[in-house]
Structure 1
Amino acid sequence: MPSRKTLLATAAGATAIVLAAGGATAAALDKAVTLSVDGQASDHHVFGSTVRDLLDDQGIAVGSADRVSPSLDAPLRDGETVSVAYARPLTVTVDGRTQRVTTTERTVDGALAALGLRDDAARLSVSRSLGIGRSGLSVSVVTPKRVTVTVDGTKVTRTITAGTVAEALGQLRITLGRGDRVTPAASTPLTDGLAVTVARVTTKDSTRTETIGHDTVRRESSSLYVGDTDVQTRGRDGVRTVVTRTTSVDGRATGTTEVSSTVTRKPVDEVVLVGTKRRPEPVATPTPSSSSSADSSSDSSDDSAQGSTQGSTPTATPTPTPTASEPAPSGAGLNLARAAMWDRIAACESGGNWAINTGNGYYGGLQFAQGTWVGAGGTDFASRADLASRAEQITVANRLYASSGTSPWGCA
């Protein structure tokens, strides 16, 4: 049977073997590695067998879009370098077309190269060396394009880095007027080989006046006889001012439109009073003598009468009556009675000009007012007295004489 001393020695030896084996295992699990996260490197001692163990030990979580090298399940070796590159959202607009991607590149230039969009002649909205943060970035890229512009009769072809037609015109120093037309529209994205046309549009305003005719208003008047009229308010035409605009494209007129129409003077209605007063019964006119003997007798009677009345009080002169010297009514519808008297009145009223029209509102040799001419039936012969003949004016005057005598004439 082994002694107690032998058993103790055996136990101590076994313990030493276990401790030695444990130390060797611990030494095998402890690895010195370098960890680079988005380019930031750090050294670590870690007990683990895979890359995932390293990241878990450092509290680094990664997503499916992030890049880890070596892979998460790869064995972790002593002295190894592990790289982690986080994915970043990137919005790229190339010549007006937008795409949204994720990239693990940390600079704009690197991201564009990875996407196959690197063009040293392109124009970028940001610096190529700009870093892309974890929150992402938006960048616009304008590539060079060949464009042809026709303007002012000249065709120009250039290669430019412009995003739209408007930007291309600006780079070519082509100034647009307010009304100029651009085809295609200025907001159109520029494409390689695009043809652009600029049409110069000019306008010219002109002003003209138009007459606005006045109306005639007829009002009854109890102060005028039936058939008589009088102009209370003379009518006056109005005036309208019209502005028109003529449009020309590249020097050729293409159309005219009305810009404004303004009444600059309102028309004034003509007010005509129409008589409603009943005329008095006409006084019978003595029949004129028809023989020379009657004239002689009349002359003798007149001489006797004058002799017999010498020294007595004068009596009122009676209204003139037709004599042999005044033609009797003659012609179709004409009445030339009192022709000599009417000639005398015409000589005083108008200087004997039967066709006079001075614009004072009175017409013809006997200076009829238009309302009086119409009321006495003058339109049987002409629209106004000055357009009627002497005989016709005398005929109308005799009609008026039958009701009013010579009172309408100041020269009677």
Structure 2
Amino acid sequence: MSHPQVRRGLVALATSAVVSPLVPAATAGAAAPATGDGDSAVTAARQATTKVRLRVANQEPRSVSTTRSYAAGLLRDENVTKKRKDIVEVRRNGRVAKPANRQLRQGDVVRLVRVTTVVNTARKPIAPRTVEQYTTKLKPGRREVVAKGRPGAKLVIIKRTRHNYEVVDTDRAQRVLRAPKPRRVLVGRSARFVPGTNHLNWGALANCESGGNPRAVNPAGYYGLYQFDTGTWRSVGGSGLPSRASAPEQTYRAKLLYKQRGRSPWPSCGRLL
């Protein structure tokens, strides 16, 4: 009779011999087969292409097919170099697509706009201005240059921005390199010169107001060439009666009054000035 441990070993060996052919042997490193529909959908999506038209700068647009979702990937695939300032547009139905909606679709136009900036500079002179100084030391109307002045210099900067070699914006600026010195001129005038009044027809006004008579007296209280009343006469520095002053004195005071009030003191004859 056999030993009990020997009998148990023979039973275990027979059992393993019966079961082992039913289990397939595993191959080390073998990939598991795709069994789900999701894996098939991913593979199909990767192989799907989008037909778009690509236009680089002013070149004629050409049709391309791409598996890329965005324009940047398409440009890389087509070996198109985008510089830092260049603009990439995705045009759809004649309009530029908004940034949030630029995923490529069938029929889109991908356009690369070449942006260049050219800066030109030029040095230009600044003409000196003329400053007139009135003096009674020269005869009226005589002019004398006392300082010739000096022209200045400025740098004019013109920056032009081009899209596909067409100018779309021009920016001008300037910087003063040297300030000009003004030209100074002495202009002779009489002691009673009133700027802004010499071009007026004072003779016509006097003829209308008083018949050109510096001694004219109106019983209503108006005197002289320009028919001053005493209050108005004193307001412009006159003393005594206007009709007793010289004709040049009366004209000088009339010019001062014009500087203050214009033609209004002579409502009827002022139109002749």
- TM bucket (normalised to shorter chain) is 0.3 to 0.5
Q: Which has the higher contact order (CA 8 A, sep 6+)?
A: 2
The TM-score, its normalising length taken from structure 1, stands at 0.30
Larger Rg: 1
The TM-score, its normalising length taken from structure 2, stands at 0.42
